[in-house]
Structure 1
Amino acid sequence: MLVLVLVGPLASWGAEPAEDEVRQALAKAGTAADWGGAGAVVVWDRRDVTVEESGLARTEHRTLVKVLSASGARQLSVTLLPYDPLSADVTVVRCRVYRADGSLRDVSPEQVQDNPDPQSLIFWNSREKLVPVGRLQVGDGVELVTRRVGFTYALLAGGEDESRFIPPMRGHFYDIVPFWSEWPVVEQSYRVRIDPAKHLQYQFFHGAAEVSDRLEGGSRVVTVTMRGFRPLEPEKGMVALSDVAPKLLLTTAADWQAKAIWFHDVQERYGSFTVTPEIKAVADHITAGLATDEEKAAALTHWVAENIRYVGLHMGEGEGYTLHRASTTLRDRGGVCKDKAGMLVALLRAAGLEAYAGMTMAGERIEDIPADQFNHCITVWRKADRSTVLLDPTWVPGVRELWSSREQQQQVLKGLPEGADLATTPVSPPEAHPLHVRIVSRLAADGTLEGTLSVTADGQSDAALRRLYRRALRSSWGAVDDAFLTALEVGAEVTTIQRSDPDDLSVPFRFEAAFRIPGYARRLTDGSLVLVPLVARHPVGVALHAEELSLDLAKEERRHPVRIGCSKLVRLSEQLTLPPGTTVRGVPEGVSLAGSGALEARCRVEGGVLVVEETLSLAQRVFSPAEWPSLRGALKAFRELAEHPITVEPGRGKRGGAE
């Protein structure tokens, strides 16, 4: 982070911009040619925040955006301002259009619509203000002034009127301010006025900003300004934009320990994990006959995962960081992540185990500053030896794990009574997520391929296979079986021999089928057969839309980290019996690549049998730009083998082999 501490005040703050000032700023903002063909440019984005003693924040937000193209005009014709009535209120003070022809047009605040926010799975009564800006032309400027009271995330409602906008950590303040946009930004500024006794700490990430931090009239005033932002070029498969784009984080929380203790105390005071007779009876039933704590924790985790439906309904008190009482979740058999986590905490306690709730940020990195960077709730089991185990009933339906390895390299805050520091979950080794595809086949002289396909897996690779079935009707499971081959070869004839029960998590998933593919190899006029070994084409990966086949490899270098679903180990093997007396030409050379992406591949002919063996290892979930060449190289070589044809030539009086 680069900062410049300013000595003088910013003249633009606190003053209503005159029309001449606005028009001059619009004129200086340039055209689409100046901004790489962008549809619009943000001339300024200014937020002025005042924090009260209670922690309640009042924000005046001024934006001025210039239309640069017809597409930008369409996008700016309507502005949406989302908010949650439990935690914030938004008022449109002014919306004014500065026409390129010199005229003005005001949109009356009375025209602003207050609509329910489109929702799915989580129905927490969030809303959005719709500002009907109307038809615009290239060169027009749209000025919008709003006032917001409250905070960003939907937390616990605290009472009537504006008291409900006070953050749950009463007296504390935090904010997370994106300093990025889909459009170029000439100037973005954020100013906060706060009592010096609140010990505000802040940090600017992923860019350079000008910072002014001074005392004015008994208040501490911090102003952060960034100029000349250009949108980041997106890269396919990259991490979340917030992990790489400029942003400002502010908080008055002393440290993560204090945040963890507060989170713990909120739940205990509210009684989120109170064990009722009904909860005790459920725990006793689930753990009956289980001898070890590990067995009990596993059984309870999977019971919550499979029996508490993921759905969020507005229940008033208890939203946000306060977990609903477990008795309510048990009654409703439904809830969001915090309800599932809280249900598991109560069941673990009912079974005599020590458990608490924790917080994380699924899909994004938590920076090391104790602002409220959380969107997901988990369970923390503390074992008799005082070590802790993370459990996540939200992410493990149909998964043999208790903590989803799709959450590796992710920050976690454990809500322990003594507090905890921010931790990062470790990398899960690829060997914990194996996918083994084995084919034993025979090639006929007419090009027909017959044989058996066996698939075994564990960890997240196991879960990916089960997901194909669990998302389909049982009556369609036969089609899922067939797809392990028909997704690649539509003419394949498949007969299922064995399939694990997709709902039985006690054993790794296993599938076996017999198949026949007429005309698999292309027959040439001289009787030769041209084909790519079936296993090298990774038919199961095609059915799974696996990342080893789908991750974009176009860029040799990347600016941003790349993210896949999970570390994994893919083993492919085939023993292909060749027609008698044939010779194989074009056998690919062996491959041996090490690193964050690793590949070992061998193809050889032994006694009339073509043997193919490939092992691909993807070391982790998130790869840095420095690790990209290794990952890309392994995947590129893996895919090249999937397209490398061999030729099986008819015998010429000698035993089959390779040339």
Structure 2
Amino acid sequence: MYRKWLSLIAFSLAALPALAADYTPSYTVLRSVAIYDVKPGGGYVEDVTEDLRVNTQAGVDDLSQYPIQFSTSQQSVEVLSAYTVSAAGKKIPVGKAGILQQQSSESANAPMFDDSKVMNVIFPALSAGAKVHVHFRRVVREPLFPGVFALQEYYSRNEDRESSDLVVHLPRSMTLQVEAIDVQGGEVTPIRPGYRSWHWQAGRNAAQAPESDAISEADYSPRIALSTLSGYDELARAYAARATSKAIVTPYLRQLADGITQGLTEPRAQAEALYRWVSNNIRYVAIYFGVGGVVPHDAEAVARALYGDCKDHVTLYQALLAAKGIKSSPVLINADQGWWLSRVAVPTGTFNHAINYLPQWNLFVDTTAQLAPFGILPDTEAGKTALVVDDGSGKSSLVKLPISSPQQDRVRIDSNLSLQPDGSLKGSSVISLAGVYDVMARSALSSIPPGGESEAAGKLLASRGLQGSGTLILGNMYDLSKPFGYRADLSLPDYVDLAGPTAVVLPTGGDSVVGLAAFVSWGGVQPGRRTPIMLDNGYYEETATLQLPAGIDVLALPRAVRTDSPLGSYVSDYRRVGHAVQVRRVLVLKDNAPVLTPERYPLLHQLVHAVARDLRAQILLQPAN
């Protein structure tokens, strides 16, 4: 939800998207043709030709390199032609020195577990008005699953495009399941005897200006899903056939599990201890399906290497649980901000990540989240349809993952503030968190280097328009055995002038990355949207006590606020208690799907406006007579 607020070092508001009439896309796809010639075993030859035009200087950066990623053990890539046509019409070929094979970033981080490479085509003499051409061929010798061909492609509505074509040739011995949305075409005359052929086209698309915080473009752009799998049950069986043997409990793993759970007799406590060990000790290397393959490494090898990708995490945790007699199953999901699930069972694209399911407690866990407490999933996984390989009955099932709720996902900030006789403001806030907000705060604050707590606090204050200093007193963010919380101290010199009547706006939540101020800064910035965004449910409660100096009286308090919305509710209350003012604010977001549609977005805009207006409410003060 707060994607823009998770960097403490570079807090900056995302720029509003340009008006459509003023928007110039950085480049235009003049022509894109991808042809897949599938072999009976599921391998295929992919032939791609693309012609693109540079429109702006940003386009020069976008198109200066054309990366082609591939697995050296399963695939080979050959660049057949590549050249630039300058704005003046001069053709400049890409020489051999301009085609570089490099190790992928994923492979560099996990050389033992990944063999992915990148073929980079570097185009010369680029400027606005130039065109680039590339034609390459990728040979896939071994499919991800034996005998299976599958593909998912989308054509971004944010991309300026003249034409895109997708052609598939498939042996008649294979049956192709198809779902095509907002594209033209279908089955055509076959290329050769014994084959069937399909041709789809995504025609002219005038690029839309991108909107910040949008979910995956694949959810709302023209798209095609293809697979020779009969359905998701066959996909689950295919994954299990390749992965189950990797979770064998060896003597080493049994001894490791026993050591981690020493002194624990309850199965759930053992499961949690094993979860924390994998989360804290196995470095996560993000290698998505389709790049690192779908076959995990042996659980013992992962335990000894102390790193692995998502399926390696799943396999190791599965084996450690099995060593204690606890059943679990891999779960295939989408880890990105995409919620669309095709009716066609595509192993990659739709699913690019794996987590664990513990049927004994109907619990889903993701050890790759690293900073997520046991049983809490990151918000990017909430409400997604996932494929449980074994739901506990020996069968697979498609399930909806839990969504956030006010009961589980909570933010509480209690602030004690003191207005000094010289008009400065000092105070301290205690922040308590649960659920997805616990995960968000840990993730955000973990980026602060030791000794950088004061600088981070200052930047948090500055991001709210407050001038002053502060510090953060953080707990152990990697201790997943208890809820996370921290304290924030602030000092704002010359906050108000007390020489006469004045107004005070309380900086409630100004020192939190997930409080009401962050909600206002993130949500509802534009009055309307074209694209969906994420929305987390939750319960926010912020209290503040403002102690007044002697000789200063309250002239007037803001009125109480109550706002009801189809998305939830917001209330606030202001009262005098002795020589202090107490404020309580509560925001509840409930029963919302994890994706907010453009049609419902104005509801968020209205609710954010109500909260923002109340956060600016002024307490009127005056010197005592």
Task: Tell whether the structures are fold-level matches, with TM greater than 0.5.
Answer: yes
Q: In the alignment, is residue 264 of structure 1 matched against residue 240 of structure 2?
A: yes
Matched residue SS, 1:523 = coil
* 1:299, distance to aligned residue in structure 2 (A): 1.4
Asked whether the equivalents of residues 67 and 73 of structure 1 are also in contact (C-alpha less than 8 Å), the reply is yes
- 1:86 corresponds, among 50, 73, 89, to 73
* 1:114, distance to aligned residue in structure 2 (A): 2.4
Asked whether the equivalents of residues 107 and 133 of structure 1 are also in contact (C-alpha less than 8 Å), the reply is yes
Asked whether the equivalents of residues 40 and 65 of structure 1 are also in contact (C-alpha less than 8 Å), the reply is yes
Asked whether the equivalents of residues 571 and 586 of structure 2 are also in contact (C-alpha less than 8 Å), the reply is yes
Quick one: distance in 2 between partners of 1:95 and 1:254? 39
For 2:82, the equivalent position in structure 1 comes to 95
Q: 1:136 to 1:279 in 2, by over 3 A?
A: closer
Q: 1:540 to 1:435 in 2, by over 3 A?
A: farther
Letter in 2 for 1:260: A
For 1:13, the equivalent position in structure 2 comes to none
- 1:359 corresponds, among 307, 332, 341, to 332
Q: 1:461 to 1:211 in 2, by over 3 A?
A: same
Q: In the alignment, is residue 143 of structure 1 matched against residue 133 of structure 2?
A: yes
Letter in 2 for 1:93: L
Matched residue SS, 1:272 = helix
* 1:477, distance to aligned residue in structure 2 (A): 5.9
- 1:129 corresponds, among 104, 119, 138, to 119
If asked which structure has higher relative contact order (CA below 8 Å, sep 6+), I would say 2
Gaps of 5+ in 1: 1-32, 151-164, 653-659
Aligned residues with identical type, % of pairs: 21
For 1:573, the equivalent position in structure 2 comes to 543
Counterpart mapping for 1:331-410 below 5 A: 331-363=304-336, 364-365=338-339, 366-372=341-347, 373-383=350-360, 388-397=362-371, 399=373, 401-410=375-384
Asked whether the equivalents of residues 159 and 208 of structure 2 are also in contact (C-alpha less than 8 Å), the reply is no
Q: In the alignment, is residue 434 of structure 1 matched against residue 404 of structure 2?
A: no
CA offset digits 1:284-327 (Å, max 9, x no partner): 2222333432222111111111121224799xxx9521111111
* 1:548, distance to aligned residue in structure 2 (A): 0.6
Letter in 1 for 2:100: Q
For 2:44, the equivalent position in structure 1 comes to 57
For 1:459, the equivalent position in structure 2 comes to 435
The TM-score with structure 1 as length reference comes to 0.80
Matched residue SS, 2:236 = helix
Asked whether the equivalents of residues 569 and 588 of structure 2 are also in contact (C-alpha less than 8 Å), the reply is yes
Q: In the alignment, is residue 528 of structure 1 matched against residue 501 of structure 2?
A: yes
Quick one: distance in 2 between partners of 1:493 and 1:187? 55
For 2:611, the equivalent position in structure 1 comes to 638
Q: 1:57 to 1:506 in 2, by over 3 A?
A: same
Quick one: distance in 1 between partners of 2:372 and 2:21? 52
For 1:506, the equivalent position in structure 2 comes to 481
Asked whether the equivalents of residues 563 and 610 of structure 2 are also in contact (C-alpha less than 8 Å), the reply is no
* 1:615, distance to aligned residue in structure 2 (A): 0.9
Asked whether the equivalents of residues 468 and 490 of structure 2 are also in contact (C-alpha less than 8 Å), the reply is no
Letter in 2 for 1:377: A
Q: 1:71 to 1:514 in 2, by over 3 A?
A: closer
Q: 1:295 to 1:147 in 2, by over 3 A?
A: same
Q: 1:334 to 1:107 in 2, by over 3 A?
A: closer
Quick one: distance in 1 between partners of 2:387 and 2:608? 35
CA offset digits 1:518-544 (Å, max 9, x no partner): 5333334xx223211232xx1232588
Matched residue SS, 1:135 = coil
* 1:575, distance to aligned residue in structure 2 (A): 2.7
Asked whether the equivalents of residues 411 and 424 of structure 1 are also in contact (C-alpha less than 8 Å), the reply is yes
* 1:334, distance to aligned residue in structure 2 (A): 1.7
For 1:553, the equivalent position in structure 2 comes to 524
Q: In the alignment, is residue 282 of structure 1 matched against residue 256 of structure 2?
A: yes
Quick one: distance in 1 between partners of 2:56 and 2:450? 51
Q: 1:368 to 1:423 in 2, by over 3 A?
A: farther
* 1:220, distance to aligned residue in structure 2 (A): 1.0
CA offset digits 1:368-396 (Å, max 9, x no partner): 3201232212112222xxx7422211114
Q: 1:108 to 1:121 in 2, by over 3 A?
A: closer
Quick one: distance in 1 between partners of 2:318 and 2:24? 53
Q: 1:420 to 1:98 in 2, by over 3 A?
A: same
CA offset digits 1:65-87 (Å, max 9, x no partner): 34555654665454332323233
Matched residue SS, 2:303 = helix
Asked whether the equivalents of residues 113 and 130 of structure 1 are also in contact (C-alpha less than 8 Å), the reply is yes
- 1:324 corresponds, among 274, 291, 297, to 297
CA offset digits 1:589-616 (Å, max 9, x no partner): 4132323253222223355542211112
Quick one: distance in 2 between partners of 1:421 and 1:147? 37
Number of residues paired by the alignment?
590
Counterpart mapping for 1:12-27 below 5 A: none
Q: CA RMSD in A?
A: 3.5
Q: 1:492 to 1:84 in 2, by over 3 A?
A: same
Matched residue SS, 1:223 = strand
Quick one: distance in 1 between partners of 2:229 and 2:22? 39
* 1:348, distance to aligned residue in structure 2 (A): 0.5
Quick one: distance in 2 between partners of 1:121 and 1:598? 45
Asked whether the equivalents of residues 359 and 378 of structure 1 are also in contact (C-alpha less than 8 Å), the reply is yes
For 2:228, the equivalent position in structure 1 comes to 252
Counterpart mapping for 1:148-227 below 5 A: 148-150=138-140, 165-180=141-156, 183-205=159-181, 207-215=182-190, 217-227=193-203
Q: 1:582 to 1:471 in 2, by over 3 A?
A: same
Letter in 2 for 1:540: D
Quick one: distance in 1 between partners of 2:472 and 2:402? 41
* 1:223, distance to aligned residue in structure 2 (A): 0.7
The TM-score with structure 2 as length reference comes to 0.84
Asked whether the equivalents of residues 396 and 404 of structure 1 are also in contact (C-alpha less than 8 Å), the reply is no
Bigger radius of gyration, 1 or 2?
A: 1
Matched residue SS, 2:582 = strand
Q: In the alignment, is residue 624 of structure 1 matched against residue 604 of structure 2?
A: no
Quick one: distance in 2 between partners of 1:339 and 1:326? 7
Q: 1:74 to 1:477 in 2, by over 3 A?
A: closer
Letter in 2 for 1:507: K
Q: 1:69 to 1:482 in 2, by over 3 A?
A: closer
Quick one: distance in 1 between partners of 2:227 and 2:175? 9
* 1:421, distance to aligned residue in structure 2 (A): 3.2
Quick one: distance in 2 between partners of 1:275 and 1:625? 49
